[in-house]
């Protein structure tokens, strides 16, 4: 799909993988709407890519509708990329035998699963109303999973459950949307150098980089953005989860 002259929405676009995706799509000529709860960051990235922004929460359906409406007003909406999300550390029971906090588990499912659902469904509804392109394609949705969906580590119960759901939604969503010519894919990143990992001490970040099979370093968010562009361009990619991880297989801890 040719991105030039299309409109795209990127959630979590104020930071990390989302910001890199906004830059990559804008470089291809798409008009990008950055949707993030961090208004200052969303505005800064939108200005940088000469796009638009909506400050809102992906867990709130009305905010998602507003963001999709605004993205559609900026041109034919053809692409939605869900990058808003976060992690959580907590074991099934802690060292004292206390069960995992339910509120924390719910918070992560709400953000990573329901947030993705909200934007995917609303974006699909808008993309379905656009004119079809070559091959009958109308657009593509890319959701962000994680290698934790497959190699969940100790303490990743809530996070792995949420990313497993993102993985599991890929095929049924692609099947549902095939009738309107919308492809659905997910990217499962390994370890990327974003503000999420910047919270760790340098020593620990270095050790994490060395744990990658090859190349032995953290992923560059620009490489995530590049894959999103490749997915848009290659219209035969559909219904698949692509690991982008330097071949890493996460150990129990
Ligand atoms: N960085 C990694 O190594 C890595 C690895 C695997 C998966 N991921 C996934 O990639 C996605 C992006 O991660 P990142 O590293 O870029 O993180 P990040 O913290 O740099 O960016 C996440 C963005 O999401 C926004 N956000 C959070 N909650 C929101 C909400 N309720 N509504 C709207 N926006 C919200 C934040 O404000 C932030 O701008 C996440 O889903 C994360 O789980 C990251």
**For residue range 41-67, what is the model confidence (pLDDT) as tens digits?**
999 999 999 999 999 999 999 999 999
Four-point Cα dihedral 119, 121, 126, 128, nearest 10: 140
CA–CA dist 44, 203 (Å, integer): 30
Hey, which of 196, 212, 225, 227 would you mutate to test ligand 1's pocket, going by the most ligand atoms within 8 Å of its Cβ?
Answer: 196
Determine the pLDDT at residue 147: 97
Hey, which of 11, 62, 83, 147 would you mutate to test ligand 1's pocket, going by the most ligand atoms within 8 Å of its Cβ?
Answer: 83
Q: What percent of the chain has pLDDT over 70?
A: 100
Q: Would you say residue 250 has pLDDT above 80?
A: yes
Q: Which domains does the chain carry?
A: 7-86+116-153+165-244 (3.40.50.720)
Range of lowest pLDDT (51-55, 163-167, 196-200): 196-200
At 102, the pLDDT band (50, 70, 90 cuts) reads very high
Determine the pLDDT at residue 154: 95
Q: How far is the CA of 12 from the centre of ligand 1 (A)?
A: 6
Residues with CB under 6 A from ligand 1: 11-12, 14-18, 36-38, 41, 57-59, 83-87, 111-112, 115, 144, 146, 189, 191-192, 194-197
Q: How far is the CA of 133 from the centre of ligand 1 (A)?
A: 31
Determine the pLDDT at residue 186: 99
Determine the pLDDT at residue 253: 85
**CA 157-209-36 angle, 5° bins:** 60
Q: How far is the CA of 95 from the centre of ligand 1 (A)?
A: 28
Residue nearest to atom 16 of ligand 1 (CA): 16
Residue nearest to atom 1 of ligand 1 (CA): 192
Q: How far is the CA of 126 from the centre of ligand 1 (A)?
A: 24
What is the residue whose two structure tokens read 């999103």? 228
Q: Would you say residue 161 has pLDDT above 90?
A: yes
Could you tell me the two tokens for 96? Answer: 């004292």
The arrangement of strands across the sheet holding 7-11 comes to: 52-55, 31-36, 7-11, 77-82, 139-144, 182-189, 241-244
Determine the pLDDT at residue 242: 98
At 202, the pLDDT band (50, 70, 90 cuts) reads confident
* 142, 231 contact by CB (below 8 A): yes
- What are the C-alpha distances in Å from 144 to residues 37, 69, 91, 103, 128? 17, 22, 23, 23, 21
93-128: b (≥16 Cβ within 10 Å) or e: eeeeeeebeeeebebbbebbbbbbbbbbbbbbebbb
Residues taking part in catalysis: 159
* Runs of H (alpha helix) within the chain: 16-27, 39-48, 61-73, 102-109, 115-127, 157-177, 195-198, 202-210, 221-233
Give the global pTM: 0.98
* 212, 247 contact by CB (below 8 A): yes
Q: Would you say residue 199 has pLDDT above 80?
A: no
């Amino acid at each position: 799909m040719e991105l030039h002259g299309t409109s795209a929405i990127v959630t979590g676009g104020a930071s990390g993988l989302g910001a890199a995706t906004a830059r990559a799509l804008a470089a291809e000529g798409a008009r990008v709407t950055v949707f993030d709860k961090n208004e200052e960051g969303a505005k800064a990235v939108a200005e940088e890519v000469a796009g638009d922004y909506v400050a809102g929460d992906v867990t709130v359906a009305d905010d998602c509708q507003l963001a999709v409406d605004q993205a559609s007003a900026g041109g034919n909406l053809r692409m939605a990329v869900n990058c808003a999300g976060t992690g959580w550390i907590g074991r099934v029971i802690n060292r004292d035998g206390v069960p995992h906090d339910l509120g924390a588990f719910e918070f992560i499912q709400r953000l990573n699963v329901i947030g993705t659902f909200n934007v995917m469904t609303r974006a699909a509804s808008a993309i379905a109303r656009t004119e079809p392109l070559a091959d009958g394609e109308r657009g593509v949705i890319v959701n962000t999973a994680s290698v934790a969906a497959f190699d969940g580590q100790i303490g990743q119960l809530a996070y792995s459950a949420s990313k497993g759901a993102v993985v599991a939604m890929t095929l049924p969503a692609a099947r549902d949307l095939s009738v309107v010519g919308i492809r659905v894919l997910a990217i499962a990143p390994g370890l990327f150098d974003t503000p999420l990992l910047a919270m760790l001490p340098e020593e620990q970040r270095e050790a994490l980089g060395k744990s990658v099979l090859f190349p032995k370093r953290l992923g560059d968010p620009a490489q995530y953005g590049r894959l999103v562009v490749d997915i848009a361009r290659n219209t035969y990619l559909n219904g698949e989860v692509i690991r982008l991880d330097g071949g890493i297989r996460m150990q129990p801890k």
